Amino acid sequence: MARMKFLCDADRCIECNACVTACKNEHEVPWGINRRRVVTINDGKPGERSVSMACMHCTDAPCASVCPVNCFYTTADAVVLHSKDLCIGCGYCFYACPFGAPQYPKTANFGSRGKMDKCTYCAGGPEVDGSQAELDKYGRNRLAEGKLPLCAEMCSTKALLAGDGDIIAQIYSQRVAKRGYGSGAWGWKVAYKETISL
Amino acid sequence: MSTTKDEKRETVDPARRNFLRAGLVGASAAAVGTGAGVAQAQASESDSEKKKARYKETDHVKKYYATNRY
């Protein structure tokens, strides 16, 4: 069984934020919520790296472990989804997640911050596939349409990979074998005239 | 003047508003129909159905993998 994974090739990400924009547009994500974000480390310094981050759809997800109403479930594709009908907006998953994936539409205290929203791997939710209710609550269900998450599909530098974990791992290892990694990449020293250890 | 008004009232055919009643019945029937449709569409999937694998290696997905190998 294929396990769905995201993999961001930090050597290719140019921090264009198109994945963030595409996600917001595709799923009509409410104001104040970004299901995907681009994190840049060492910004403006040699060795700067950008990584596109969203829900990592963990195996044994900590959000699911702490949820008091058990609204999370993992599909056979290893995609972690949740039910907004069951969510009480307690915020435990927000504290448990190491990636900051769960977010809330309102800035308020316990119970009044609204239903949690997070990346669905473009796989919708517990409503019937392709229904209006699913679209309104969770956004599009591209996986059921035979497609992959839009953020990865439209990445201009092909930095963000999505799909069967075995296949994208193979694609990434082929890239690394061809170009080298980080400062070991062909042309790095010519371009930057320095050695950067990672 | 008032006499004329009363006369007019008497001459009005009470059946003239039947088409409105028919319209109302039709509209409410349509609303019930739509409501039932929405209820059906909003129904959640069963536990096994919501956890089923949705990923399929379609031509679209294969093309995506191929373009990422460049």
The predicted model gives A190-195 an average pLDDT of: 65
Mean pLDDT value of segment A151-159: 95
Contact A89, A112 (CB under 8 A): yes
Residues of A with Cβ-Cβ distance to B65 under 8 angstroms: 163, 167-168, 171
In A71-176, at which residue ranges do the beta strands (DSSP E only) sit? Answer: 72-74, 80-82, 160-164
Report the pLDDT value the prediction gives residue A188, as an integer from 0 to 100. Answer: 65
Residue with structure tokens 């596109």? A52
> B-chain residues within 8 Å CB-CB of A171?
65, 68-69
Q: What is the pLDDT of residue A7?
A: 95
B42, B60, B65 ranked by CB distance to A127: nearest: B42
Kindly report the pTM of this predicted structure.
Answer: 0.77
Nearest Cβ partner for B45 among A4, A76, A128: A128
Interface confidence, given as ipTM, is 0.85
CB proximity A143 to B under 8 Å: yes
Q: Give yes or no for A8 touching B (CB within 8 A).
A: no
DSSP state of B66: H
A34: nearest Cα among A144, A151, A113: A151
pLDDT in tens, A39-49: 999 999 887 89
Which chain B residues are closer than 8 Å to A148 by Cβ?
A: 61, 64
Given a cut of 50, whether residue A145 has pLDDT beyond it is yes
Mean pLDDT to the nearest integer, A171-178: 87
Query: Coil, strand, or helix at residue A176?
Result: helix
pLDDT tens digits, one per residue of B10-66: 566 767 777 676 665 555 555 444 444 444 445 678 888 889 999 999 999 999 999
Identify whether the C-beta of residue A36 lies closer than 8 Å to the C-beta of residue A53: yes
Closest residue on chain A to B56 (Cα) = A146
Which chain B positions have a beta carbon within 8 Å of A4's beta carbon? Answer: 55
Does B43 sit within 8 Å of A143, measured CB to CB?
no
pLDDT at residue B2 above 50? Answer: no
What domains can you pick out in chain A, each with its CATH number? 4-192 (3.30.70.20)
pLDDT in tens, A96-139: 999 999 999 887 776 678 899 999 999 999 999 999 999 999 99
Distance separating alpha carbons of residues A46 and A183, to the nearest angstrom = 11
pLDDT at B43: 67
CA distance A60 to chain B (A): 15
Tokens found for residue A194: 């320095």
The predicted pLDDT at position B34 comes to: 46
CA dist A117 and A53 (Å) reads 15
pLDDT tops 90 at residue A183? no
Among the residue ranges A144-153, A172-181, B18-27, the one predicted with the least confidence is: B18-27
Answer whether residue B6 shows pLDDT above 70. no
Residue A77's closest CA among B43, B68, B61? B61
Report the percentage of chain A scoring pLDDT > 90.
74
Give me the pLDDT at residue B48, please: 87
A189 interfaces chain B, CB cutoff of 8 Å: no
Residue A186, Cβ neighbours under 10 Å: how many?
Answer: 10
Q: Which has the higher per-residue pLDDT, A190 or A49?
A: A49
* Average pLDDT taken over every residue of chain A: 90
Determine which helix (DSSP H) or strand (DSSP E) holds B9, and give its type and residue range: helix B2-11
> Using CA atoms, how far apart are residues A84 and B41, in angstroms rounded to an integer?
16
pLDDT of residue B40: 46
Cβ distance B50 to A126 less than 8 Å, yes or no, reads yes
Half-sphere exposure of B5 (CA within 13 A, CB side): 2
The count of C-alpha atoms lying within 13 angstroms of the C-alpha of B7, restricted to the half-sphere facing its C-beta, is 4
- Is B50's CB within 8 Å of A148's CB? no
